[in-house]
Structure 1
C-alpha cells in the first residue's frame, strides 16, 4: 500500500469514527430525552448506529492490517 493510500485510509477511519460518534450521540439523546414516548424511533437509530460503528470497525481493521504490512 502506498503512502497516499495509507493516508486516505486513515482519513476514512477518522471520518467513519466521527459518523459513528454522531449516531451514538443521537441514540444517547433518544434514550435520555425522548423515551418512552419516542420508542418508535429506537430501532432505526439503533440500526444506523450499529451500521456506522461496523463500518468504522471494518475500516479500522483494514488500516491495522495495512499498517502492520508496511512495518514488516
Structure 2
C-alpha cells in the first residue's frame, strides 16, 4: 500500500469508531431507558475499533 492508501484505510478505521460513537450518542439522547442494555456492547466495540485504528496508525507510522 502506498501512503495515500494507508491514510484512506486509517480514515476508514476511524470512521468506524465514530459511527459506533454516534450509535451511543443516539441511545443516550433518545432511547436511554429502552436501549441502555446495548451500551456495554457498544462500549466494547468502540474500544476495539479505536485500538485497531491506533495499532494500524502505529504499524504504518502515520
What's the TM-score bracket when you normalise by the shorter of the two chains?
Answer: 0.7 to 0.9
How far does residue 5 in structure 1 lie from its aligned partner after superposition? 3.5
SS of equivalent to 2:59:
helix
Larger radius of gyration: 1
CA contact (8 A) 1:27 1:49 kept: no
Q: Report the counterpart of residue 36 of structure 1 in structure 2.
A: 33
SS of equivalent to 2:34:
coil
How far does residue 19 in structure 1 lie from its aligned partner after superposition? 0.8
How far does residue 12 in structure 1 lie from its aligned partner after superposition? 1.2
Listed as ranges, the gaps of 5+ residues in structure 1 are 68-72
Q: Report the counterpart of residue 20 of structure 2 in structure 1.
A: 23
- Rounded to whole Å, the distance in 1 between the matches of 2:49 and 2:15 is 9
- Consecutive aligned runs of 4 or more in structure 1 exceeding 6 Å deviation: none
Cα-Cα RMSD: 1.7
The aligned length equals 62
Q: TM-score, normalised by structure 2?
A: 0.79
